[in-house]
Structure 1
Amino acid sequence: MTATLAARPAVAHRDRNVLCWLAAYTSSMIGDSVYYIALSWAAVQAGSPSQAGLVMAVSAVPRALLMLGGGVLADRIGPRGVVIGSDAVRCVAVLAVAALLFLSTPGLWPLAVLALVFGIVDAVFMPAVGALPARVTTRDQLARVQGMRGLAVRFASVVGGPLGGLGVAVGGAAAAFGLAGLLIAVSVPLLIAVRVRELPADDKEHRRGSTAWRDLLAGLAYIRRHRVLAPLMLAITLGDLGFVGPLNVGLTLLADERGWGPSGMGWVLAGFGVGAGAASLLLTVRGRLPRAGQLAGCAIITGSVAIGALAFVPGVAAAAGVALLVGLLAGLSGAICGALMQTQADPAYLGRVTAVAGLVSLGLAPLSMPLSAAAIGIWGSGPVFVVSAAVCGLSGVIALCVPGLRRVELPQ
């Protein structure tokens, strides 16, 4: 039986229902971080570096292919049930591999199967996670919840790495997988305790006679016709394409090119993380920022200039300072775009809307990483960072030039 959210909740960071959802989400994300460390360590131990790379990449294919279908599923049966079921499957799969590694040395095949399962489950988990906040709190609190979610992601990335390393150090990959499974398991009872808001009866009735394919087409048509969501998706696409390459593989190559070493790259990444965390904290505390569309566009354009400048700063300290600015502006624009997506989309379509955004971030944007690496090898980091910054800047131009997106406000 689905728990129902009936009364108007308190401010998000004081609402027990939202905090229960946040605890579940945070535990699941920390478990994910530990899982990826365990998977990479186990794959390197069981095979060659190229084989380990293939194992790590296995989950990307089903995640990209099935993401839109996952959005349809979240909207058809409700995001809460999909998230609970997804976490349960991930927990069982990870613990099964942990037990297998503890009892024997099976090689790469169980790791590849686990990665494949995670990719399939992620395709339905991620759209459902994106659709769930609109059922947990009221529309005026969604921006604050988006900031809280950003803080949870940052916390998970900071805590998950050391926990995964500790698990590997104490008991090898089997112990790290077991720890990941237990962390994901913690989220399941918390999610069961979360109360959700039901869709209006007319939305359910309209959906009842439709097929999954028609639901998918209806969702895509809904985005295309929407005066805010259509340009917002284009802005998100360009922003991710311009941002992912330089701040992932590009930063590693830049650190190597400048002789900063791993520690120097770590300081630059730390600066970015601090800036992004500060942006999430700002949205969590304020709950609403005025002129959201215009603010997002200005933050994207200013952040794009900082991305281009990152390749030309003289030393690690200056690079860390610029990275902090990039993190602050990118975190602010990303949080605002996420909040606008949450507040502008009808809850009945939010799973499909989140799936389209997730397909861009997880399917299209990673393609820029090998292209960025190849381009840096040919032309060096400077020109590639400038081009990437220009692509990212187009996202801000769209936000400022399309009236519907420029004038949009977060609800009060």
Structure 2
Amino acid sequence: MASLETARPASARPALPRKYLLWLVGTRASLLGDAVLYFALGWAASAHGGGTAALVLTAITLPRTLLLLLGGAVCDRYGARPVMIAGDAVMLTLTLTLVLALVRPGPAASPWLLVTVAVVIGTVDACYLPATGAMPRQLVGKEQLPRALAMQQAGGQIASLLGAPMGSVLVAAAGLTGAAVADAGTFAIVLLVLIRLRPDFDVERSPRGEGLVAGTVGGVRIAAGHPVLRPALLLTAAAACFLLPVVSLLSPLLAREHGWSSEVTGLIAGGQSLGMLAVALVVSRRGTMSRIGRGAALGLCVSVPGITAMALAGTTAVVVAGGIVVGAGSGLFACHIGPLVLPCIPDTHLARMQALLVLVQSLALVVGNNVLGALADARGATVAVAVCAAGAFVAGIAGLLSKPMRRLHRKSSGVVPLVADSTVSRRS
């Protein structure tokens, strides 16, 4: 296994810029507020039946998926910071409007109110997610980018861990209104941060004469023909298809197949999050592996023993340990794929590539969930988990054998891209 970068002691590494840390705290707080609101929306929708609950969740996912590439083109045209400011302003207005609608005397939140809120959230996400992915490039230098992205990953895991429990407590105490107030507060915080924040690194924007649709197609064409971005996208699809469903979809089915309690499923999910968080914290402290392409591929390989243990486990202790290993592999992959991809992207296409990464992951997850779910029904959850282990192993080995991935490495000056990229300039 490639060793972690040890050119300098950890204590000698320069601290991440205060601007980035301030932005990170604000956006992670907003992410936590979003997780609370999403839980509250799902809970409120469930009061109207399963069909309404599914409709509300679809109303978030569908516009976000359909508009994601277009949102990336918008972000590349107008800049990550302005898009984030606009998105936070819209979401602050939306959540406050929701609070006003809920505090009026009358019946509980109507299904159409919930669906409308969900559609707005999904539409804003389509622009906001690419902007969030592109923003670190404007706040930290390339040499610190891997650690910055790892810290961002760790913050996301913490928000994910705390979101549902905090949402359940808040909904029990104050209902959907309380969740909306809390989320509005987080949007106000990050909006103030973004207004006061001035990025230290200029990033070239896409030309204004380029149409948004043409820019979207151009971004896909660049990714498809790039020697690093193409295998990186394929590895991302493999991770979404073979890693993400293991805990979210297959562990509950595996628990029912073995007669385990629901608490075991919760422990598996917690173990996965713990493994991902631990790796993210290590990388944020020590940096990525020097051969950064191998690091991403190794993440898939590391997860294979954990998935195999879950498939063959006869005891809950082993399956929970397997979940931790799966999380460690997922974290290793996630902490390397971002800093692998970001420096290889032309500045004019930053957000579009981030949008494409999210879209590839989302589509692969949809396919993987449905195929693996059908396989579990036909042959059992154990067989479906074994297929995930085999798929992750094949994808990981393919990544290790890929010449562009093997050759990509990180020096003290940052990741060495395969294409010239000199459009980032330090502001005076």
Q: Give the drift of 1:389.
A: 2.2
Q: Distance in 2 between matches of 1:114 and 1:382?
A: 39
What pairs up with 1:262-411 in 2 under 5 angstroms?
262-411=262-411
Q: Distance in 1 between matches of 2:58 and 2:351?
A: 25
Q: Give the drift of 1:411.
A: 4.3
Task: Give the residue type in structure 1 aligned to 2:35.
Answer: S
Q: Give the drift of 1:185.
A: 2.1
Q: Verify the 8 A CA contact 1:134 1:347 in the aligned structure 2.
A: no
Q: Give the drift of 1:27.
A: 1.1
Match of 2:100 in 1: 99
What pairs up with 1:135-174 in 2 under 5 angstroms?
135-174=138-177
1:237 aligns with 2:237: yes
Task: Give the residue type in structure 2 aligned to 1:325.
Answer: V
Match of 2:419 in 1: none
SS of residue matched to 2:410: coil
Q: Verify the 8 A CA contact 1:290 1:410 in the aligned structure 2.
A: yes
Match of 1:88 in 2: 89
Q: Verify the 8 A CA contact 1:12 1:145 in the aligned structure 2.
A: no
Match of 1:24 in 2: 26
Q: Give the drift of 1:94.
A: 2.1
Q: Verify the 8 A CA contact 1:199 1:347 in the aligned structure 2.
A: no
Q: Give the drift of 1:197.
A: 4.1
Q: Distance in 1 between matches of 2:304 and 2:195?
A: 41
2:40 to 26, 30, 38: 38
Q: Give the drift of 1:309.
A: 2.8
Q: Give the drift of 1:129.
A: 0.6
Match of 1:67 in 2: 68
Q: Distance in 1 between matches of 2:363 and 2:236?
A: 13
Q: Name structure 1 gaps, 5 residues minimum.
A: 1-9
Distance 1:176 1:387, change over 3 A: same
Task: Give the residue type in structure 1 aligned to 2:118.
Answer: A
Scaled by the length of structure 1, what TM-score is found?
Answer: 0.92
Task: Give the residue type in structure 2 aligned to 1:68.
Answer: L
Q: Distance in 2 between matches of 1:84 and 1:393?
A: 41
Higher fraction of helix: 1
Listed one character per residue, the Cα deviations across residues 56-92 of structure 1 (whole Å, up to 9, x for unaligned) are 2221111111100011111111011111211221222
Q: Distance in 2 between matches of 1:210 and 1:385?
A: 46
Q: Distance in 2 between matches of 1:157 and 1:12?
A: 28
Match of 1:3 in 2: none
Count of residue pairs the alignment pairs up: 399
Q: Distance in 2 between matches of 1:325 and 1:370?
A: 24
Give the RMSD, CA atoms, in angstroms. Answer: 1.9
Q: Distance in 1 between matches of 2:135 and 2:224?
A: 22
Distance 1:12 1:162, change over 3 A: farther
Of 392-401 and 134-143, deviating more is 392-401
Listed one character per residue, the Cα deviations across residues 371-408 of structure 1 (whole Å, up to 9, x for unaligned) are 32222121101111111222223321231121111221
SS of residue matched to 1:59: helix
SS of residue matched to 1:314: coil
Listed one character per residue, the Cα deviations across residues 169-198 of structure 1 (whole Å, up to 9, x for unaligned) are 212121122212222221111122222145
Listed one character per residue, the Cα deviations across residues 216-239 of structure 1 (whole Å, up to 9, x for unaligned) are 232222212322111111111122
Q: Give the drift of 1:313.
A: 0.8
Task: Give the residue type in structure 2 aligned to 1:123.
Answer: A
Q: Give the drift of 1:35.
A: 0.8
Q: Give the drift of 1:150.
A: 1.0
Q: Distance in 1 between matches of 2:375 and 2:346?
A: 41
Distance 1:156 1:230, change over 3 A: same
Q: Verify the 8 A CA contact 2:88 2:191 in the aligned structure 1.
A: yes
Q: Distance in 2 between matches of 1:354 and 1:377?
A: 35
Task: Give the residue type in structure 1 aligned to 2:295.
Answer: L
Listed one character per residue, the Cα deviations across residues 107-162 of structure 1 (whole Å, up to 9, x for unaligned) are 21100011111111111111111111101111111100111111111111222223
Equivalent pairs: percent with the same residue?
29
What pairs up with 1:104-143 in 2 under 5 angstroms?
104-105=106-107, 106-143=109-146
Q: Name structure 2 gaps, 5 residues minimum.
A: 1-11, 413-428
Q: Give the drift of 1:11.
A: 6.2
Q: Distance in 1 between matches of 2:20 and 2:158?
A: 17
Of 349-358 and 188-197, deviating more is 188-197
Match of 1:5 in 2: none
Task: Give the residue type in structure 1 aligned to 2:76.
Answer: D
Scaled by the length of structure 2, what TM-score is found?
Answer: 0.89
